[in-house]
Amino acid sequence: MVGYTLLAYKTARIIDDETKQRNRTTALITFLAVVISTLFVFKYANFFLDSSYSLLGFRLLPQLNLLLPLGISFYTFSTISYIVDVYKGVTKARKSILDVGLYVIFFPSLLAGPIVRAEVLMPQFACDSSVDWIAIRSGIAQIVWGMLKKVYVADSIAPIANEVFASPENVSGLGLVLGTLAYTVQVYCDFSGYSDIAIGSARLLGIELPKNFEKPYLAYSITDFWRRWHISLSNWWRDYLYIPLGGNRGGNLRTYANLMITMLLGGLWHGAGWNWVVWGGLQGAMLSIERATGLSSKPTSKIKYFIRWLVTLCLICTSWIFFRASNLNSAVVVLERIFTFADGRIPIDYRPLFYIATILLVEWFDLKQKWMSWTQNHPNSLKWITCAMAIALMFTFAGASSSNFLYFQF
The pLDDT value given to residue 41: 92
Whether residue 112 is predicted with pLDDT greater than 80 in this model: the reply is yes
Residue of 270, 332, 362, 379 marked catalytic: 270
Q: Counting every residue, how long is the chain? A: 410
**Domain match, 142 and 93 both:** no
Confidence of residue 250 (pLDDT cuts 50, 70, 90): confident
What range defines the domain where residue 34 resides? Answer: 2-105
Whether residue 398 is predicted with pLDDT greater than 80 in this model: the reply is no
Half-sphere exposure of 43 (CA within 13 A, CB side): 22
**Contact of 18 with 95, CB cutoff 8 Å:** no
Average pLDDT of the chain is 92
Nearest to 103 by CA among 27, 25, 231, 207: 207
Mean pLDDT, residues 50-61: 77
161 in any annotated domain: yes
Q: In total, how many domains does the chain have?
A: 2
> Mind listing the pLDDT tens digit for each residue in 133-160?
999 999 999 999 999 999 999 999 999 9
119 in any annotated domain: no
Whether residue 19 is predicted with pLDDT greater than 80 in this model: the reply is no
Last residue of a domain, one of 105, 124, 158: 105
**Contact of 287 with 226, CB cutoff 8 Å:** yes
**Domain match, 6 and 65 both:** yes
- Enumerate residues 6+ apart whose C-beta is below 8 A from 160: 178, 179, 182, 349, 351, 352
The pLDDT value given to residue 57: 75
**Domain match, 394 and 309 both:** yes
The pLDDT value given to residue 66: 85
Mean pLDDT, residues 315-332: 95
The percent of residues in the chain predicted with pLDDT above 90, rounded, is 77
**Domain match, 167 and 311 both:** yes
117 in any annotated domain: no
> Mind listing the pLDDT tens digit for each residue in 251-304?
899 999 999 999 999 999 988 889 999 999 999 999 999 999 999 899 999 999
The pTM (predicted TM-score) of the whole model is: 0.93
- Enumerate residues 6+ apart whose C-beta is below 8 A from 300: none
**Domain match, 182 and 95 both:** no
**Domain match, 138 and 77 both:** no
Three-class DSSP category at 61: coil
313 in any annotated domain: yes
**Domain match, 48 and 97 both:** yes
**Domain match, 185 and 222 both:** yes
The pLDDT value given to residue 7: 96
**Domain match, 359 and 221 both:** yes
**What one-letter code names the amino acid at 278?**
V
137 CB-contact burial (10 Å; exposed 0-12 / middle 13-18 / buried 19+): buried
191 in any annotated domain: yes
As a whole number of angstroms, the distance between CA 300 and CA 303 comes to 9
Catalytic-residue membership of 270:
yes
As a whole number of angstroms, the distance between CA 280 and CA 264 comes to 4
Whether residue 410 is predicted with pLDDT greater than 90 in this model: the reply is no
292 phi and psi angles, rounded to 5 deg: -70, -35
